Amino acid sequence: MSTTILIRPMVTEKSQGLSQKLNTYVFEVHRKSNKLEIKKAVQKMYGVNVESVSTAVIPGKVRSRFTKTGSSKGQTSAYKKAYVTLAKGDSIDFYAQV
């Protein structure tokens, strides 16, 4: 796949809890990427050993706004999340480059 597989790490309270308790990190990934491609991309980018990868496609949500000209409806984009579990002793520091 010529496109970027890893789009961005998802840094939320829930994902931080997963990384501390289970050594699992959450990434937003390209919609058409598979688990093997995600595993290779994480190992190459962060230099860690990946134990397992789980994926989930998050559907878009319907949003509506009420303006002077009436109501306007739309939908957010759907995206794919990958839960990457690392081997014991490995970790990723997202704040090292900041």
Question: What phi, psi does 86 have (nearest 5°)?
Answer: -95, 160
Least confident interval from 31-35, 74-78, 84-88, 89-93: 89-93
Domain 6-86, what fold? Alpha-Beta Plaits (3.30.70)
pLDDT value at 2 more than 80: no
pLDDT in tens, 35-58: 999 999 999 999 999 999 999 999
pLDDT value at 22 more than 80: yes
Q: Tell me, what's the pLDDT at 95?
A: 81
Tokens of 50: 């990946």
Domain ranges of the chain: 6-86
Q: What is the dihedral of CA 82, 86, 91, 97, to 10 degrees?
A: -30
DSSP designation for 78: P
DSSP designation for 31: T
